[in-house]
Structure 1
Amino acid sequence: MLRWTLLAGAASALVAPVVPRPRSARAAAAVAEKEDVELADCPVTQWGASIPDILAAQQAKRAAPEQPFLHVLEPPSADPDAQLRWLADHRDEVNAKLASHGAVNLRGWDLVRTPEGFRAAYEALGLEPCRDPLDAVSARPMVDKGSAVYEAVNKESRANFYIGMHNEFVGTRAPRAAMFVCFQQAEEGGEFMVCDGRRVFRDCDEELLARLYGRRIRYSVMELPFFSFLDGLPEEVAAGPVKIPLRAGAASAVRGVVAAAINAKVDFDVDMQWLDDEASAYGDDKTLQARAPVQPPVVLHPATGEPTWFCNVHSHSSVLRKKRESIYGAEKFEDGASRINKSDMYYGDDGSIAEGDLDHLDELTRKHTVSLRMAPGDAVLVDNYQTMHGRNVFKGTRKHAVSWFK
């Protein structure tokens, strides 16, 4: 997801002279174990052509018949070998359901109870795995070193963190599909959630949709609250008869160095901006925020050409996140990465989105979201361009995993 737990490693190294944040042994091992895995890079994001009249496209969608969402697939037999043969024999049928529905739920398939069986299932469907879009700087471990099965967000430190609905993409990279699987169900909560982006597009308030599409959107993807020392510098220093602006010059230099270091780790340009104390989540700790390039909130599906909501406001908005924290509690920041890994969303011109509009998008997204209490033997295949995914808070031990596909 665009919430980059991974850039935290790069940021930690960058600001080490100010606040040392060494990479955990677990994170280092996760990166090392993937060096031996040969996978294709995550595909380049396909934004599609610009939509000339976004409201006319929305009206056409409203006039069209209701499209189905989330096809449930029961196993043809209790025998895992028979299940595998069935998937291989019916791969075209399953992939057709993925295209028409946006998500296919394998429910009660003993075949996918293990990483090896899960991998056999997606190979039988002809799905070609790719690297996690965050993999270049990721600490996300693999469940099976020899496979493309990545661990989902199961850490206890993030159990109270409600992962809002989002498409999986990072700047220029987005998988075409993903398959999520449950190896162990949490004692309480932890539901996997899917949301139909076509319906979100269809039902969005017209004025808001026109504004969002016309002005475009952009995300902030990281906040670095490590620069309070700059406020301790004198505003200027005298060099003979000339006064040099020391504080502003130092802030400009720091911003440039940080931007260069982060841009060296990703394949798109990140814009660094200083936040004022009111906008920062860290109070008077002077904070740099990284913002991604401008993009549309609605795209044309790469295969069908249908317009679909492709916008992570539900997961990235700091306003919606804080409202959820008042209900579920906040994450514990045990490893420091989550503290750095703060996100927000703005218009493409950096203007703020009104709280009432964010509330509308939250209500609309939840309206079209289906929660799945997955158990061992369950997996969900999603079309990443037309289906968003998320995860509820949980208690206990949760072991879910995911593979990404070209």
Structure 2
Amino acid sequence: MQDIAQRKLLADGYSPWLLEPTSNERDIVQVVNHNRAELDALVLEHGAVLLRGFDVASVDRFELFANAVSAQKSDYVYRSTPRTSIGNGVFTATEYPPNETISLHCENSYQRNWPLRVAFCCLTAARTGGETPIADMREVTRRIGARILENFETKKVRYVRHYRPHIDIPWQTVFQTSDRSQVAAFCEDNGIEHEWLDDDTLRTSQINQGVAYHPRTHDKVFFNQAHLFHISNLEAALASSMVSFFGEDRLPRNAFYGDGSAFDPADLERIRNAYRESTIAFAWQQGDVLLVDNMRVAHGRNPFEGERKVIVSLLDPYSPDATELHAGDYHTREAAV
């Protein structure tokens, strides 16, 4: 890449690859247009590329960047967290209270299709905290170990959710419709069991992958959100209150093996430790853009103080069951090395 300095962001261990301009040419869209094959190759090689010092000061500029990186966007339907659409394929990052930690995960790995890449942009850096920590999923998978990985690959993961008024995310937000017939159609198309219960409560259940294979590198990685959906992800006192109030069979969200059997709590804790022990973080700077391979790198969010605005675009939609692949997509494109 001409007039762009390249290096590891962090000296030791896993690190994003850093790109910084060395001239007055700071138009990030032009950088992508002139170097897209090399940028694709860097993301594939390093899992995450941080573009710093370029002209990205607005939602519109980030949207142009995302469009230059990929013409294919993922919509955010069958949601698990609150977000707001603020552009064409651009969303706010998960809108949880600033004092909360968002555990590391791969985007939409609780679904049967997901974005192969995720682009983040920091428009406003928090006064303190607010990092988007990441982890190399190859290292996470290694730390989880063969026994647990085999169980997840063989049995898969069943996600059970109950949507009711004023608790968690309403079904109207999750499915992006207030029409029950459209919910039924979506569930039918995506292999989701659904049932309307009393008190305007909707129950859904879906069995999805526990591991997945990267379509380009063929790496086998732990790829699900069992550790997030399971009731044990909550603080013990809150989890106990939820069970007492709703009952174990009607919790807002929970996860099991695909055959309905329970996870070993020790296995879930080992999974969470694998993420924690593999995590690295860096401080956001205003205008930073982080482009990650969603199967190679997990992401989360640290608590923060002060105003923070990070926006997201979900790129290169992918399904391992797809019968047709779009020419030029990240999972089929031959990137320059």
Structure 2 length normalisation: TM-score?
0.71
Paired residues of 2:117 and 2:291 also in contact (CA < 8 A)? yes
Q: Secondary structure at the match of 2:135?
A: strand
Where does residue 54 of structure 2 map in the other structure?
Answer: 110
Paired residues of 1:185 and 1:374 also in contact (CA < 8 A)? yes
Where does residue 314 of structure 1 map in the other structure?
Answer: 227
Measured in 2, the distance between the counterparts of 1:395 and 1:222 equals 32
Tell me whether 1:80 sits opposite 2:23 in the alignment. Answer: no
Paired residues of 2:81 and 2:95 also in contact (CA < 8 A)? no
Where does residue 384 of structure 1 map in the other structure?
Answer: 294
What is the one-letter code of the residue matched to 1:101?
H
- CA offset at residue 183 of structure 1? 0.7
Greater percentage in helix: 1
- Select 1:142's aligned residue among 77, 85, 92: 85
- Select 2:184's aligned residue among 238, 257, 263: 263
What is the one-letter code of the residue matched to 1:164?
S
Measured in 1, the distance between the counterparts of 2:86 and 2:200 equals 38
- CA offset at residue 401 of structure 1? 0.5
Paired residues of 2:131 and 2:281 also in contact (CA < 8 A)? yes
Where does residue 207 of structure 1 map in the other structure?
Answer: 147
Superposition pairs of residues 113-262 of structure 1, within 5 angstroms: 113-124=57-68, 126-134=69-77, 140-144=83-87, 147-154=88-95, 158-169=97-108, 171-224=111-164, 262=183
Where does residue 242 of structure 2 map in the other structure?
Answer: none
Superposition pairs of residues 15-94 of structure 1, within 5 angstroms: 69-81=15-27, 83-94=28-39
Paired residues of 1:225 and 1:288 also in contact (CA < 8 A)? no
Measured in 1, the distance between the counterparts of 2:216 and 2:130 equals 32
Measured in 2, the distance between the counterparts of 1:317 and 1:377 equals 35
What is the one-letter code of the residue matched to 2:223?
F
Paired residues of 2:140 and 2:275 also in contact (CA < 8 A)? yes
What is the one-letter code of the residue matched to 1:309?
F
Structure 1 length normalisation: TM-score?
0.60
Where does residue 343 of structure 1 map in the other structure?
Answer: 253
Paired residues of 1:186 and 1:396 also in contact (CA < 8 A)? yes
Where does residue 332 of structure 2 map in the other structure?
Answer: none
Paired residues of 1:192 and 1:392 also in contact (CA < 8 A)? yes
Structure 1 residue runs without a partner (length 5+): 1-66, 227-257, 276-284, 327-339
What is the one-letter code of the residue matched to 1:167?
C
- CA offset at residue 154 of structure 1? 3.6
Mean Cα deviation higher: 356-365 or 388-397:
388-397
What is the one-letter code of the residue matched to 2:234?
R
Structure-2 change in CA distance of 1:166 and 1:259 (3 Å): farther
- Select 1:373's aligned residue among 283, 287, 308: 283
Mean Cα deviation higher: 69-78 or 200-209:
69-78
- CA offset at residue 376 of structure 1? 1.1
Paired residues of 2:162 and 2:201 also in contact (CA < 8 A)? no
Where does residue 269 of structure 2 map in the other structure?
Answer: 359
Measured in 2, the distance between the counterparts of 1:324 and 1:191 equals 27
Q: Secondary structure at the match of 1:175?
A: strand
Q: Secondary structure at the match of 1:290?
A: strand
Paired residues of 1:68 and 1:100 also in contact (CA < 8 A)? no
Q: Secondary structure at the match of 1:110?
A: coil
Measured in 1, the distance between the counterparts of 2:44 and 2:299 equals 16
Mean Cα deviation higher: 390-399 or 71-80:
71-80
> Could you give the per-residue CA deviations for residues 195-233 of structure 1, whole angstroms, max 9, x where no partner exists?
22222222223322222222221222444379xxxxxxx
Structure-2 change in CA distance of 1:218 and 1:381 (3 Å): same
- CA offset at residue 287 of structure 1? 7.3
Paired residues of 1:298 and 1:310 also in contact (CA < 8 A)? yes
Structure-2 change in CA distance of 1:148 and 1:259 (3 Å): closer
- Select 2:215's aligned residue among 296, 302, 305: 302
Q: Secondary structure at the match of 1:161?
A: coil
Structure-2 change in CA distance of 1:324 and 1:379 (3 Å): farther
- CA offset at residue 106 of structure 1? 1.6
Measured in 2, the distance between the counterparts of 1:181 and 1:123 equals 14
Measured in 2, the distance between the counterparts of 1:264 and 1:119 equals 31
Q: Secondary structure at the match of 2:64?
A: helix
Paired residues of 1:78 and 1:110 also in contact (CA < 8 A)? no
Where does residue 53 of structure 1 map in the other structure?
Answer: none
Structure 2 residue runs without a partner (length 5+): 1-12, 167-178, 240-249, 317-337
Q: Larger radius of gyration, structure 1 or 2?
A: 1
- CA offset at residue 260 of structure 1? 7.3
- How many residues matched? 280
